[in-house]
């Protein structure tokens, strides 16, 4: 068996704005496991490092990746624990191991889109409800995106906010005037854009518009302030960036017990893949917090792995999947969005 990796730079079709800036490219790392046998087969996995956001985004990341592919022992059952400080590498290896287990000596029909979790989803007979994502930009640009999503049939929209709250609030008011909460679910994602006092006012304004939830209203790391917001908020709060870097079970439990959020949002590439996400889910459910899964600008290789696994969780909430169409140089995919659902075709 030969394990190797390569850097791949994804290019956005159009600049995508967040409160952290405008994205035009996104680097990712692809693992390739080559097995020679009855068939020479490649198993691909994606280590979706998100520079500027991922916990393990530091200078020795590539050194660690090189060490892993040179020395990885497939018989070592403790490999996942040993890589807790490298969540995206955990996820990439999970993918190649899963593919290896399923296909063994069988030739892959589609090496880029292997069926990792056979289900009615991978049979093409069921979809995953997803939200439509509205990127930051000018008011007209955001209006254009919203119209496109509504025309496609989306009934849950997530809007990035935090650039100009007055304009963003007016846009939300207009949406709510046209569509009741029964017809259109609104979510917002602040990416930590607001100060604590400002966030309290915004939470009330969102409540008056029947907004489903707000992701990360204040910057991560302010546990006591976030706990205070969650304790009194009229609008449910979802933790996102707050989860990044909390890799040990004890850390995860302490965070949730301290803040007591209404929801958590899980990006497998940032929290340790399937296993790391499942640890968070169990802890959240223990204290009656909701959750959903979101992709983190992976290529279609990582998105395929996230989507198939997500379907097996039987979560009825709209998930944050379906980012593959953002890039000009993405890989072939069997994932397809029909109205407001993601299908495997």
Residues facing 265 on adjacent strands: 292
Residues facing 46 on adjacent strands: 30
149 catalytic per annotation: no
What DSSP designation does 9 have? E
d(CA 158, CA 188): 5
CB atoms within 10 A of CB 308: 22
Of 334, 343, 338, 323, nearest to 158 by C-alpha is 323
Candidates 26, 158, 160, 252; catalytic one = 160
Handedness of CA 80, 82, 84, 86 (dihedral sign): negative
Handedness of CA 305, 311, 312, 313 (dihedral sign): positive
Residues facing 185 on adjacent strands: 156
Candidates 26, 149, 252, 267; catalytic one = 267
E strands, 146-192, in order: 156-160, 185-189
147 catalytic per annotation: no
Distances (CA, A) of 252 to 158, 211, 245, 256: 26, 27, 9, 6
List the catalytic residues: 160, 267
């Amino acid at each position: 068996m030969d394990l190797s990796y390569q850097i791949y730079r994804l290019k956005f079709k159009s600049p995508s704005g967040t409160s952290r800036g405008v994205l035009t490219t996104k680097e990712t790392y692809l693992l390739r496991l080559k097995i020679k046998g009855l068939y020479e087969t490649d198993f691909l996995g994606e280590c979706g490092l998100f520079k500027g956001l991922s916990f393990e985004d530091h200078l020795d990341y590539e050194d660690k990746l090189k060490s892993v592919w040179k020395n990885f022992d497939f018989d070592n059952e403790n490999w996942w624990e040993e890589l807790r400080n490298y969540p995206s590498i955990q996820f990439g290896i999970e993918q190649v191991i899963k593919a290896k287990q399923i296909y063994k000596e069988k030739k892959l029909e589609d090496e880029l889109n292997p069926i990792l979790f056979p289900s009615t989803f991978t049979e093409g007979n069921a979809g995953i409800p997803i939200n439509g994502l509205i990127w930051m930009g000018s008011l007209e640009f955001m209006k254009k995106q919203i119209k496109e999503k509504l025309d496609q049939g989306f009934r849950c929209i997530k809007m990035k906010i935090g650039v100009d709250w007055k304009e963003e609030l007016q846009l939300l008011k207009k949406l709510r005037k046209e569509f009741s909460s029964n017809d259109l679910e609104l979510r917002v994602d602040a990416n930590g854009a607001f100060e604590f006092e400002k966030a309290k006012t915004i939470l009330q304004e969102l409540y008056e518009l029947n907004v489903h939830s707000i992701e990360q209203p204040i910057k991560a790391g302010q546990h006591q302030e976030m706990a205070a917001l969650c304790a009194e908020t009229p609008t449910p709060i979802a933790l996102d960036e707050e989860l990044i870097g909390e890799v040990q079970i004890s850390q995860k439990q302490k965070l949730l017990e301290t803040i007591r959020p209404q929801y958590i949002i899980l990006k497998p590439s940032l929290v340790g893949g399937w296993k790391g996400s499942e640890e968070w889910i169990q802890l959240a459910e223990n204290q009656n917090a909701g959750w959903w899964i979101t992709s983190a600008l992976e290529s279609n290789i990582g998105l395929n792995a996230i989507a198939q696994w997500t379907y097996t969780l039987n979560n009825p909430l709209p998930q944050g999947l379906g980012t593959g169409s953002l890039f000009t140089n993405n890989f072939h995919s069997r994932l397809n969005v029909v109205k407001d659902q993601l299908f495997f075709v």
